[in-house]
Structure 1
Amino acid sequence: MKDIFFFDSMLTPKIITFVYWLLLLGSVVSGVSTMFVGYDASFVYGLFIVVSGCIGARIWCELLIVLFKIHSNLQKIANKE
C-alpha cells in the first residue's frame, strides 16, 4: 500500500489493459450495431468502425504503455547513480 500512496509504483499500467479490452468491446459493439441496426445500416461502414476502432485502441494504449516504460527506465538509470 505504501508504494501506491507515495507513488513509488505506478497503478495506471495495470489499468490500461482493462481499458484496452473495454475499448475493443466498445468498438465491436458499435461496429456490429452499425452493420445491422438502424435506418442507414451499412455493413462496410460498420466493418470500418470495428477495424479502425481496434487499431486505434491498440495504438493509444501502446503509446500510454511506452510512457510508463520510459518512466521505469529513467528510474532505473537514476537509481544507479
Structure 2
Amino acid sequence: MKSVFFFDSMLTPKIITIVYWLLLVAVLISGLSTMFAGYQPNILAGLAMIVGGAIGARIWCELMIVLFKINENLQKMANKSDVEKN
C-alpha cells in the first residue's frame, strides 16, 4: 500500500482494465439497441458498431497502457544508471 501512496507503483493501469470492460459493455448495449430498437432497426449498423467499438476501445486502452509502460521502463533505466554511478 505504501508504494501506491508514494507513487512508486501506478494504480491507473489496473483501473484501465476495468474501464475497458465497462467500455465493452457500453458498446454491446449500444450495438444491440441499434440493432433492435426504434422504428428502423438496423442490424448491419449495430454489428458494425459492436465490432468497431470493441476494436476502438481496445486500441484506446492499449495506448493508455503503453504510456504507463514507457514510464515504467524509464524508471528502470534511471534506477539502473543510478546504481552504475555508485
Scaled to the shorter chain, the TM-score interval is over 0.9
Which residue does 2:29 correspond to in 1? 29
The within-5 A match list for 1:1-81 is 1-81=1-81
Aligned residue type for 1:29: I
Query: Take 1:35 and 1:56, find their aligned partners in 2: how far apart are those partners?
Result: 19
TM-score, structure 2 as length reference: 0.90
Please list the CA deviations of residues 43-66 of structure 1 after superposition, one character each: whole Å capped at 9, or x if unmatched. Answer: 111111101100000000000010
Displacement after TM superposition at 1:40 (Å): 2.2
Which runs of no fewer than 5 residues in structure 2 stay unpaired?
82-86
TM-score, structure 1 as length reference: 0.95
Indicate the structure (1 or 2) with the bigger Cα radius of gyration.
2
RMSD value, Cα: 0.8
Query: Take 2:73 and 2:10, find their aligned partners in 1: how far apart are those partners?
Result: 13
Query: Take 1:10 and 1:4, find their aligned partners in 2: how far apart are those partners?
Result: 7
Aligned residue type for 1:43: I
Which runs of no fewer than 5 residues in structure 1 stay unpaired?
none
Identity of aligned residues (%): 68
Q: 4+ residue stretches of structure 1 with deviation over 6 A?
A: none
- Give aligned pairs, total: 81
